[in-house]
Structure 1
Amino acid sequence: MTTRTRTNTPDEVTIREDGTKSTRVHLKRACNGCGQYLGDVADWDVDDRGELTDVRGECQHCKPLVEAEAAGARTWELLPRNIASVDNAIDRYGVFAKGYWQFVDGKNTVVGLRIGEGESRVVAFFGDWVIRHPDGTWAVHSAPKAVQP
């Protein structure tokens, strides 16, 4: 795999003679896994079909997920809109999973998913990644604090 260097150009503020300001903004690329900014958009960010490429491997937070997937792990990002489908996928492996509840603003609210039973169980919160390793074990890769829903 070719190592690419992504620049990170700061925005440029220009003050004109009359005192007005203008800002030249450089378009940034965010990780398609966690949303953290990686730097300037580059030519390789778009494939031959005009679609954005997967840049999770450039992100220090998401790189372990990419490596786990390359080693045969199955991953899901747990979100409020997909909790049922992730739960169903886990059920198909014969593993117990159910919503994980906590009090939020005085109400008992589903905030994630509990996977497994006993001491081997894991809890994934919304925004976290659920990982099923090839050996059948489960793990959670927590979302960075800045991008949790």
Structure 2
Amino acid sequence: MIRPNTPDRVEDGRKTTTFHLRRACNGCGQHLGDVDNRDVDDRGNLTDVRGECDHCRPLVALEAAGCRTWRLTRRNLPEIDDEVDRDGIYAKGYWEYVDGKLRVTGLRIGSGETRIVAYFGDWIIRRPDGCFTVHKAPSPA
């Protein structure tokens, strides 16, 4: 079901702005449209709307197929690094020069030619066969 996206109204040559709460994807943060009754469960908690987002819908399908997914952030990098290491795969922070300073910008998984790099905001996917892939973060609008 497509969400409404309430536009401004123009009446008698005057623009009238109507305020509506907007819902953002709880996976990537992209705006989806107006909030409605399906956004809150019986306890008052926000529901998972990643299936409505063009960017995150493939992740929901991968999770249903048995994949494990993480959205890489500065805060959860050590947790993901440890979990990948427990799988027997080499992982460590990925460093790059940013504004003249060496900074961690993501996570490197694997070694040699087959390694992958996930940057902050990207989704890391561990497939049931144990291989890892990256689902890139959406480009800022």
> Shared fold by TM > 0.5?
yes
1:97 to 77, 82, 91: 91
Paired residues for 1:1-149 under 5 Å: 4-12=1-9, 23-146=17-140
DSSP-derived class of the 2:130 partner: coil
> How much identity, in percent, do the aligned residues show?
62
Question: How high is the TM-score relative to the length of structure 2?
Answer: 0.92
Q: After the TM superposition, which parts of structure 1 deviate over 6 Å for at least 4 consecutive aligned residues?
A: 13-16
Question: How high is the TM-score relative to the length of structure 1?
Answer: 0.87
Q: Name structure 1 gaps, 5 residues minimum.
A: none
Tell me how far apart the structure 1 counterparts of residues 10 and 98 of structure 2 sit (CA, whole Å).
42
